[in-house]
């Protein structure tokens, strides 16, 4: 038996993924002890939980049906001693599709997943509607490594054409728009999202920090600085979004988001 990973829910509940030579499965662990099975299948991957610990999601390859399933479960506290974990929604796509790990927004109202074929699916956890799908044709605005970032009430991902795409969750149904920033150099050195800010550093040392203006559907630059390549040794960012750039002279400066 092998341990594949786990997530923490509320009230001391954990969901863990395990496998043996025949199959994968999910189990519920409460206060360190086995409590129940959740699901099993040919291959389970991408297990993740919402920030509030009330939802979790994963991908499951179903060879018999010839589909890849994206499954979202909901945790419900029934009483001080009783709880319930129930499937909320399922999405079926071709078996050979590949997805990045799903991403919940910070409010725990939506979950998104992006496929290698440039399909992005948004599931609204407040309603039982079918997932909203956006698609970018291959050869047009291809997305770079399959990562969706959560940023408050919107999702963000980056295109190879330098467009930043924003999915707005404040509408009745998710809507998508895009905006383009000139990021400086020809290659991206670092790019990520922290504290609802997009941080981009190009290979020539230009650092741009911006945020999405959902009302005007555009990106706003909050901070930009050019720090010439070759004059710094390293750049790091902590979990709170503080950027630290280490100079070769031994000095450093900090950008606090």
For residue 133, give the nearest of 154, 107, 115 by alpha carbon.
115
Residue-level pLDDT at 139: 45
Structural contact between residues 158 and 143, judged by C-beta atoms closer than 8 angstroms: yes
Helix extents (H) in the chain: none
pTM of this prediction? 0.76
CA distance 197 to 45: 28
Q: What residue numbers bound the domain in which 255 lies? A: 181-257
Question: Can you give the pLDDT of all 257 residues of the chain as single tens digits?
Answer: 787 788 888 888 888 888 877 778 888 888 788 777 777 777 888 889 998 899 999 888 888 888 888 889 888 877 777 777 887 888 888 888 877 678 898 888 899 888 777 788 888 888 767 788 887 665 444 445 456 788 888 988 776 666 788 899 988 888 999 888 665 556 666 777 877 888 877 777 777 888 889 899 998 988 777 765 556 666 666 666 677 777 666 666 676 65
What is the CATH number for 202?
A: 2.40.10.360
Residue-level pLDDT at 238: 67
103-104 and 252-255 as β-strands: parallel, antiparallel, unpaired?
unpaired
Is residue 204 included in any domain, yes or no?
Answer: yes
Is residue 160 included in any domain, yes or no?
Answer: no
Residue-level pLDDT at 216: 92
Is residue 47 included in any domain, yes or no?
Answer: no
Instruction: Please count the structural domains in the chain.
Output: 1
Is residue 111 included in any domain, yes or no?
Answer: no
Is residue 35 included in any domain, yes or no?
Answer: no
């Amino acid at each position: 038996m092998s341990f594949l990973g786990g997530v923490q829910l509320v009230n001391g509940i954990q969901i863990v993924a395990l496998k043996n030579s025949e199959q994968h499965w999910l189990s519920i662990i409460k206060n360190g002890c086995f409590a129940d099975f959740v699901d099993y299948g040919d291959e389970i991957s991408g297990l993740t939980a919402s920030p509030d610990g009330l939802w979790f999601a994963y991908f499951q390859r179903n060879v018999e049906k010839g589909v890849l399933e994206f499954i979202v479960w909901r945790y419900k506290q029934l009483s001080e001693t009783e709880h319930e974990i129930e499937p909320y929604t399922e999405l079926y796509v071709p078996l050979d599709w590949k997805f990045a790990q799903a991403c919940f927004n910070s409010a725990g109202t939506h979950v998104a997943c992006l496929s290698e074929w440039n399909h992005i699916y948004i599931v609204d956890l407040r309603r039982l509607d079918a997932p909203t799908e956006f698609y970018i044709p291959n050869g047009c605005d291809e997305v770079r490594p399959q990562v969706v970032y959560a940023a408050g009430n919107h999702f963000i991902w980056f295109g190879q054409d330098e467009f930043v795409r924003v999915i707005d969750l404040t509408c009745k149904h998710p809507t998508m728009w895009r905006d383009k920033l000139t990021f400086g150099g020809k290659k991206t050195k670092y790019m990520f999202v922290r504290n609802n800010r997009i941080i981009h550093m190009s290979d020539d040392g230009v650092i741009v920090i911006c945020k999405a203006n959902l009302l005007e559907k555009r990106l706003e630059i909050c901070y930009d600085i050019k720090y010439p390549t070759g004059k710094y040794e390293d750049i790091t960012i902590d979990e709170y979004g503080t950027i630290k750039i280490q100079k070769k002279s031994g000095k450093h400066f900090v950008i606090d988001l």
